[in-house]
Amino acid sequence: MLYRTAGQFKTSYVADQALFTVKQDAFLLGIILLLGWVVFPLTASEFTFQTLLIPILIYALAAMGLNILTGFAGQLSLGTGAFMGVGAYACYKMVTLFPWMNPIIAILLSGVFSAGIGVAFGVPSLRIKGFYLAIATLAAQFFLVWLFEKWSWLYNYNASGAIQVPNLEMFGVFVSGPQAASVTEYYIVLFVVTLLTLLCINLTRGNLGRTWKATRDMDIAAELIGINLMKSKLTAFAVSSYVVGVAGALYVFMWKGAAEPNVFDIPLSFQVLFIAIIGGLGSIMGNYLGAILIVGLPVVLNVVAGTQVFQMSALGAAVLVALVAAVAFLGWVARNGWTIGAVAGFAVLTLIYGYAQTQGFRIDSALIEHINVMIIGALIIFFLIIEPHGLNQLWRLIREKLIIWPFPH
């Protein structure tokens, strides 16, 4: 009904190849862009900017960079964190060496440095594949973080060994550093992320994207049909590292404000990799969905768990979930064991929690944190079980169903 495609005829090959073959998709994107560009900035609080909007966008961008390499070109990389670090340190050196430089230009240029480093570490991919390549990129991860620690020129010989973002101005407005308003930082992040997303969508749909996909699916076959593997793999490394490097520069300049070398250590690489996997390898939109789940959800859960409203509504939720679980249990018990298990488990947990609340059991912040980690972990497992190809595929299935709704086939 919402996704009715009746009456939308494609009369040319161009129309068939268009970005939005269904009108509603363009409409939906319009709404999202409107939310991102107008509604959120007008309504968000400082907290929302700093803990949800800005980090989700930055992580989504980093995951998108990785997705180009791993999802589209099929080259596994565990060095994302270090490549983000290259972007961040390059940007730091540029703005401190040339204070007159426009910060956005500096951020966009910093990706060039990480692209160079990325290509250098991508050279082994010409000879090795799969897990072996992952280990080669892991070497990049360790080496680069070590370099950030030892090469004091990179952090301007600061005694602390950390880089501190200076207050940068653009047209008389502070755009980075502690003096910058969150909304300014948000708009810059949004601008850069929109720009690079547009670039990535078009690259992956174009000639280059097809050579990447061919390389991913079967490199020997790709070579036989005349694809230059070296060019294909190295461009993937270059574009991917460029996007990741820009994400790294944004990460420090528009969000963290300061960073010590170990920020770029392997946990960051894994986090970005998980976002890409949960979101869906080989997709653009999946990166955003993954970032919302992995970066945004813990913050939301934390806030919700801490509010008074939650303590009251926990009970309502418990009753509701119990009812849902009961209905679900009766309905689909044989058909869909996993869903049932998850829903029932959640219902039982909520019931226990609601009961404990009324018995005067105070939940402290460390416990919330533990529960939070468990919930996020459970959700990741849940989503990967119901759809191993990630959230993007889940959305695609929902969309397909919506298009033919109310008919099942």
List interacting residues with other proteins (CB under 8 A).
46-47, 50-51, 55, 149, 159-162, 164, 166-167, 177-179, 256-258, 260, 262-263, 265, 299, 302-303, 308-309, 311-312, 314-316, 319, 354-355, 357-358, 364-366, 368-370
CA gap 25, 127 in Å, rounded:
41
CA gap 403, 116 in Å, rounded:
44
Question: 68 vs 318, which CB is nearer to other proteins?
Answer: 318
Question: 68 vs 325, which CB is nearer to other proteins?
Answer: 325
Taking the complex as a whole, the smallest distance from the CB of residue 6 to other proteins amounts, in Å, to 47
Taking the complex as a whole, the smallest distance from the CB of residue 299 to other proteins amounts, in Å, to 6
Question: 8 vs 365, which CB is nearer to other proteins?
Answer: 365
Residues counted in the chain? 409
CA gap 16, 25 in Å, rounded:
14
Q: Which residues contact 307 (CB under 8 A, 6 or more apart)?
A: none
Taking the complex as a whole, the smallest distance from the CB of residue 330 to other proteins amounts, in Å, to 20
CA gap 199, 383 in Å, rounded:
29
Q: By C-alpha distance, which of 313, 320, 300, 284 is closest to 376?
A: 300
Question: 76 vs 314, which CB is nearer to other proteins?
Answer: 314
Question: 50 vs 215, which CB is nearer to other proteins?
Answer: 50
Tokens 């290259």 sit on residue: 86
Taking the complex as a whole, the smallest distance from the CB of residue 212 to other proteins amounts, in Å, to 32
Question: 124 vs 161, which CB is nearer to other proteins?
Answer: 161
Taking the complex as a whole, the smallest distance from the CB of residue 307 to other proteins amounts, in Å, to 10
Question: 12 vs 160, which CB is nearer to other proteins?
Answer: 160
Tokens 């226990």 sit on residue: 352
Question: 223 vs 369, which CB is nearer to other proteins?
Answer: 369
Taking the complex as a whole, the smallest distance from the CB of residue 340 to other proteins amounts, in Å, to 23
CA gap 241, 116 in Å, rounded:
8
Question: 371 vs 394, which CB is nearer to other proteins?
Answer: 371
Taking the complex as a whole, the smallest distance from the CB of residue 28 to other proteins amounts, in Å, to 30
Taking the complex as a whole, the smallest distance from the CB of residue 217 to other proteins amounts, in Å, to 37
Taking the complex as a whole, the smallest distance from the CB of residue 155 to other proteins amounts, in Å, to 10
Taking the complex as a whole, the smallest distance from the CB of residue 40 to other proteins amounts, in Å, to 16
Tokens 């005829």 sit on residue: 9
Question: 303 vs 375, which CB is nearer to other proteins?
Answer: 303
